Structure 1
Amino acid sequence: MDTSVQPKVETDTTYNQNSNYRFALVSLTTLFFMWGFITCLNDILIPYLKGAFNLSFTQAMLIQFCFFSAYFIVSLPAGMLVSRIGYQRGIVMGLIVACCGCLLFLPAASSGIYAVFLIALFVLASGITLLQVSANPYVSALGDPKTAPSRLTMTQAFNSFGTTVAPFFGSFLIYGATGEHGVTSASDVQLPYVILALTLFTLALIFLFLKLPALHQVGERTPLRFKGALQHRHLVLGALGIFMYVGAEVAIGSMLVSYLVQHSDSGLTEAKAATYIAYYWGGAMAGRFIGAAVLQKLSGGLVLAFNAFIAIGLIVFSMMSTGDMALWSILAVGLFNSIMFPTIFSLALHGLGKDTPNGSGFLCLAIVGGAVIPLLQGMLADSIGVTLSFLLPASCYLYIAYYGLYGSRVTQSNIN
């Protein structure tokens, strides 16, 4: 997800060679993989810390609240910082901040205080936000502007690959520390995050000394002024669509382990259920390739509405089922999530003209839905049960269907 407002850039002609760009692009794909990997680990961390600290679902969902709040709080300051220090240094600083966040898991586990875990997650997410603000426009500027979307799509595929393999890594190292039926302890999360810290620090050193094409900003960074952009009704409704989509996607992923265990008719353990998260995120990765072809033939609004209605049907069917039917139908929602974020984003920016940069920044702030919706679902799970709490993400998809069919139509409206 692009959380940056991208300034104009030009490339240093000293490095204006295809081989240099390919090398830089390959290097940057490791970053996209890493932040997808780290973000997905939260889906395993939530049920594990819930057991270790005997938390309610609401308290456990504070993990996603703290993590995704960083997108809302840190994104704009990070953009201003990157405009001063440059993209490569911004990447290095983002990696170091994320490394510090991982290392904070050591005192968090030693103290046994849940609040310290939340602080560690916020620091980690702040580093990832800085990383995104630096890396996304950097990838866009590495070569012909006409092929920038293709480069970003390719690197985003590696982001999805990270979310696909992370559940296997997390399940093995976290649950494997005690075994499937062992007594959970907060200290069991130390090893995976120490490994991540070492990896991030190594990447920071590599990018500090890596000879990458120099990118220079042209002119001053344009400040965000939302007033003009907010005159566009379809942009405002699109921001709510981004809020709903990110919230629903994250909420489902966060509740999957608990949901699958409850709906299992064969004694599915949390350790085994955690590995199934890979299918949820893997479906999203596969769906991006399918959706790219479909969207060349069909209207984005229609495809968006179709996918949203299918997602609602899958959720309702899963809620009414048990065993494999419940398992695979809820995991299939990931496949239909795939095209939603880029489609909503592009529909919301259509026809904005000079307001496009500010509109993009406004849409990025709506990613905070990943903090709010999971927390609300946690409250529902505590009050009416895990299964019925999935009515909340289903209602989010209902709004997304409305946006695809009607809300995305371009009209001018003065919003005071």
Structure 2
Amino acid sequence: MAWQGSPPLEDIPRTTEAPAPGGAGRWVPALVITTSLFFLWGMANNLNDILIAQFKKAFTLSDFGTSFVQQVFYLGYFVFAIPASIVLRRFGYKAAIITGLLLYGIGALLFYPAAAISAYQLFLFALFVIAAGLAFLETSANPLMTELGDPATATRRLNWAQAANPFGAITGILIGRNFILSGIEHDEATLAGMNAAAREAFYRNEVQAVATPYLAIAAIVLLFAVAAALTAFPRNTAVRDVPEQAKTQRFADLLRHPRLIGAVIAQFFYVGAQVGLWSYTIRYAQGALGWNERQGADMLFVSLLLFAGGRFVGTTLMTWIAPARLLAIFATVSALLAAAAALVGGTIGLYALVTTSFFMSIQFPTIFALGVETLGPLRRLGSSLIIMAIIGGAVLTGVIGFVSDRAGIAAAMLVPAACFLVVLTYAVRARARA
């Protein structure tokens, strides 16, 4: 991909927000809400990792069967990324954020009827609705954080905002570990020895455990929707301030930006690796070491602590190391650790798997920022295309589950190892062509 020749970001007219009377301080409440969105979708994303373990037990699913949690979830991102971009362009940040929060809240509320009738398919639909809401939130919040401020520091600014994301993820894991996972795990012989009523009661209790946490989440998310409705957000730039050629730009124009296309491909594989690793961390601990589900959740919790620490360390390092170079370093280490989890196995393999999270930390926002930094007025359209690449979380989690059912959970970790090599390739080219 030939990326030299792209004009620097500061030379491209940008679709910035109109300045507000009273100065930048007026937007502090909007930025607080926007930063909170990173927390809220981090919580939703990583609760899925708990749901995979819970539904495997409650519905007696195979690894591939549990992968539908992530397949449906990230399909929602894919389907609604472009509609979210259209709403964002036509009605602005506020409308897109409120729409996203309402969909998120409605999806969480649907967990109650799904638990009441013990329907895996309805849980999947609820997750699809939640993901539709998150597509609106991510399509809005990511470009907002890159647009408001100096273009030269957009990558660092987005990384700092994304620092709220791992805290949301940690919260999701704590909620799941303490309020969803019961710690009760019966083997096939024990289940076979139960009478029908006892077995049915066990399954029903495990299914219903997910309802109350999601009802609480729905209430919080809907309160945020009310707060967003009462908060002032920047308006769209007046038409006269937008270059004439930018008024007619379409998604086809994005194809002329190979750096963006490379970012879309890299993001597809990165998200697939991240989602796959976290989705099957509990399963890896159970399969490779014979641990119980709560012990596995503890290791997932450690993974997210490392992810949060890596975000702060990585973002700080960007003060001295160019983002593309740092991305290449982190992707290389991630690939090596995932390969160790696949080929070594056991305790060392689990520790390698968990440590990978530290080096995954800066990859999503850095790929995102590198992909949109030269787009100018196409920035919002380009951001929705990168958000669509999150479908990698659906496709590659399914691949990992498929491989696990046939070759074992350890061997399945070769899939994310290969994914990180794709990210490394993008980072090297981005650095060479910068």
Same fold (TM > 0.5)? yes
Map of 2:31 onto structure 1: 25
2:306 partner amino acid: G
Secondary structure of 1:215's match? coil
Aligned-pair CA distance for 1:67: 0.9
Q: 1:399 to 1:31 in 2, by over 3 A?
A: closer
Q: Across the two proteins, how many residue pairs are aligned to each other?
A: 399
Q: Distance in 1 between matches of 2:151 and 2:426?
A: 30
1:91 partner amino acid: I
Map of 1:8 onto structure 2: 16
Q: 1:148 to 1:310 in 2, by over 3 A?
A: closer
Q: Distance in 1 between matches of 2:406 and 2:273?
A: 19
Q: 1:148 to 1:242 in 2, by over 3 A?
A: closer
Residues 1:92 and 2:112 are matched in the alignment: no
Q: 1:225 to 1:100 in 2, by over 3 A?
A: same
Which of these residues, 409, 412, 417, is aligned with residue 389 of structure 1? 412
2:220 partner amino acid: T
Query: Where do 1:333-348 residues align within 5 Å?
Result: 333-348=356-371
Q: 1:45 to 1:377 in 2, by over 3 A?
A: same
Aligned-pair CA distance for 1:95: 1.5
Q: Distance in 1 between matches of 2:313 and 2:163?
A: 12
1:242 partner amino acid: Q
C-alpha distance after superposition, 1:335-388 (max 9, x if no partner): 111222233334445666776665444333222111111111111111222111
Taking every aligned residue pair, what percent have the same amino acid on both sides? 32
Map of 1:414 onto structure 2: none
2:83 partner amino acid: P
Map of 1:110 onto structure 2: 116
Q: Distance in 1 between matches of 2:116 and 2:248?
A: 43
Aligned-pair CA distance for 1:141: 6.0
Map of 1:190 onto structure 2: 211
Q: 1:355 to 1:89 in 2, by over 3 A?
A: closer
Residues 1:180 and 2:200 are matched in the alignment: no
- Unmatched 5+ residue regions in structure 1? 1-5, 412-416
Most deviating of 120-129 and 110-119: 110-119
Query: Where do 1:75-90 residues align within 5 Å?
Result: 75-90=81-96
Query: Where do 1:118-267 residues align within 5 Å?
Result: 118-139=124-145, 151-176=157-182, 179-181=183-185, 183-184=202-203, 185-209=206-230, 211-219=231-239, 225-264=250-289, 267=290
Q: 1:135 to 1:337 in 2, by over 3 A?
A: closer
Q: Distance in 2 between matches of 1:310 and 1:148?
A: 25
| Conservation of the 8 A alpha-carbon contact between 2:337 and 2:352 | yes
| Conservation of the 8 A alpha-carbon contact between 1:233 and 1:410 | no
Aligned-pair CA distance for 1:172: 0.5
Aligned-pair CA distance for 1:129: 1.6
Q: 1:11 to 1:275 in 2, by over 3 A?
A: farther
C-alpha distance after superposition, 1:236-265 (max 9, x if no partner): 33321111111111111111110011222x
- Unmatched 5+ residue regions in structure 2? 1-13, 187-201
| Conservation of the 8 A alpha-carbon contact between 2:97 and 2:136 | yes
| Conservation of the 8 A alpha-carbon contact between 1:140 and 1:152 | yes
Q: TM-score, normalised by structure 2?
A: 0.82
| Conservation of the 8 A alpha-carbon contact between 2:85 and 2:384 | no
Q: TM-score, normalised by structure 1?
A: 0.85
1:189 partner amino acid: V
